[in-house]
């Protein structure tokens, strides 16, 4: 993002915005959303309000668990699903924020996700399409729909196999693993999570790595591999803390507390819950 500062001070706001958006996206993926937010806020103070900038700023905030702030940023634009790539990105970020934060009813979240998915399928990138596929599968699974995750697996596999990007390939495997988990295929999901965690580790993609490690902890818990699951939740908490995602940090400790409670280790459960800095902890 350093290049964006040079262009900004040189008075070339267009080039500054281009580099800021690209740099912010990479910073978020590699676990530095606070840095992305700080750089984008400088442009905001200069009066920048283009939708692609707004979407990345909202994504940076959401990656830190600042859901209300992310929605407020997106609210500066009236979004429709007919506005091209930039609108597709904004719609997807809003749908993900609403789903993750539960700041809305089930019907509203499903409606927003449907609009986002339609827009992304037309104008989104490969990674955005995969994010939309998983989001749709998660919402369906919340309703008890076991068919949608199976369909999502096939869609994700096709995108992953047709791409030359290691990130896209790993992200497709992450979607597959989560779908297997939602379908109750825990052993197969565990194998998938184990492989993709190594890939995200090698790529230094901490945001997706955190999701993979936490998901692996959930399926290991279901398989009764409690020590391994506890290690996953501890690592997920450490990653969330490094990233600055307060909600994910709380969630990891909440998962660990629930694990210890379920096996009767009540003192350890109490210690884990004490480290959960939010009253909104929930498994996901």
Q: Say which residues have a Cβ less than 8 Å from residue 85's Cβ, sequence separation at least 6.
A: 123, 124, 125
Give residue 282's pLDDT band: very low, low, confident or very high (50, 70, 90). Answer: very low
Give the separation between CA 175 and CA 177, rounded to whole angstroms. Answer: 5
Mean pLDDT of 238-252: 93
pLDDT digits 0-9 by tens, 207-243: 999 999 999 999 999 999 999 999 999 999 999 999 9
Q: Say which residues have a Cβ less than 8 Å from residue 11's Cβ, sequence separation at least 6.
A: none
Parse the chain into domains and list their residue ranges.
1-77, 204-284
Q: Say which residues have a Cβ less than 8 Å from residue 22's Cβ, sequence separation at least 6.
A: none
In the DSSP assignment, the letter for residue 245 is -
The pLDDT of residue 168: 96
Closest to 138 (Cα-Cα) out of 202, 104, 95: 95
Determine the distance from the C-alpha atom of residue 212 to the mean position of all C-alpha atoms in its chain, rounded to a whole number.
10
Give the separation between CA 224 and CA 160, rounded to whole angstroms. Answer: 31
Q: Please, where are the H alpha helices in the chain? A: 2-9, 13-29, 33-45, 51-62, 67-74, 84-101, 106-123, 126-142, 147-162, 166-182, 186-203, 206-222, 226-243, 246-262, 266-274
pLDDT digits 0-9 by tens, 35-89: 999 888 877 666 555 777 888 999 999 999 999 999 999 988 766 544 678 888 8
Q: What is the dihedral of CA 67, 160, 133, 221, to 10 degrees?
A: -70
Q: Say which residues have a Cβ less than 8 Å from residue 122's Cβ, sequence separation at least 6.
A: 88
pLDDT digits 0-9 by tens, 5-29: 444 445 545 566 677 788 888 999 9
Rg of the chain (C-alpha set) = 19
Give the separation between CA 181 and CA 170, rounded to whole angstroms. Answer: 17
Cβ pair 139, 99 in contact under 8 A: yes
Position 283 pLDDT exceeds 70: no
pLDDT digits 0-9 by tens, 117-166: 999 998 889 999 999 999 999 998 888 888 889 999 999 999 999 999 99
Cβ pair 124, 81 in contact under 8 A: no
Mean pLDDT of 88-97: 92
The pLDDT of residue 208: 94
The pLDDT of residue 284: 36
The mean of the pLDDT values for the chain is 87
Closest to 246 (Cα-Cα) out of 64, 61, 100: 64
Give residue 3's pLDDT band: very low, low, confident or very high (50, 70, 90). Answer: very low
Q: Say which residues have a Cβ less than 8 Å from residue 59's Cβ, sequence separation at least 6.
A: 24, 25, 28, 33, 70, 93
What distances in angstroms separate CA 37 from CA 11, 26, 55, 127, one per listed residue?
21, 12, 11, 21
Give the separation between CA 130 and CA 161, rounded to whole angstroms. Answer: 12
Both tokens assigned to 268: 């350890």
Q: Which of 1-15, 42-56, 173-187, 249-263 has the lowest mean pLDDT?
A: 1-15
Q: What is the pTM of this model?
A: 0.85
What is 204-284's CATH topology?
A: 1.25.40
Q: Say which residues have a Cβ less than 8 Å from residue 17's Cβ, sequence separation at least 6.
A: 4, 43, 48, 50, 52, 53
The pLDDT of residue 280: 47
């Amino acid at each position: 993002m350093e290049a964006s500062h040079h262009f900004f001070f040189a008075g070339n706001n267009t080039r500054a915005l281009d580099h800021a958006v690209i740099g912010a996206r990479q910073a978020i993926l590699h676990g530095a959303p606070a840095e992305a937010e700080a750089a984008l806020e400088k442009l905001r103070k200069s009066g920048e309000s283009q939708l692609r900038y707004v979407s990345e700023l909202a994504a940076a905030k959401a990656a830190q668990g600042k859901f209300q702030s992310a929605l407020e940023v997106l609210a500066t634009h009236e979004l429709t699903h007919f506005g091209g790539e930039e609108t597709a990105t904004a719609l997807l970020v809003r749908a993900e924020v609403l789903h993750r934060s539960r700041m809305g009813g089930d019907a509203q979240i499903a409606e927003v996700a449907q609009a986002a998915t339609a827009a992304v399928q037309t104008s989104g990138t490969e990674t955005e399409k995969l994010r939309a596929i998983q989001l749709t599968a998660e919402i369906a699974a919340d309703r008890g729909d076991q068919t949608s995750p199976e369909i999502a697996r096939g869609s994700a596999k096709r995108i992953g196999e047709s791409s030359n990007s290691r990130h896209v390939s790993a992200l497709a495997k992450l979607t597959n693993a989560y779908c297997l988990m939602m379908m109750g295929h825990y052993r197969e999901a565990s194998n998938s999570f184990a492989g993709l965690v190594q890939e995200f580790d090698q790529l230094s993609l901490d945001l997706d790595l955190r999701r993979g490690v936490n998901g692996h902890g959930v399926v290991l818990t279901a398989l009764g591999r409690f020590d391994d699951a506890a290690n996953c939740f501890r690592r997920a908490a450490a990653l969330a803390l490094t990233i600055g995602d307060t909600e994910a940090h709380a969630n990891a400790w909440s998962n660990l507390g629930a694990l210890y409670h379920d096996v009767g280790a009540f003192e350890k459960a109490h210690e884990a819950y004490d480290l959960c800095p939010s009253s909104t902890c929930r498994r996901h």
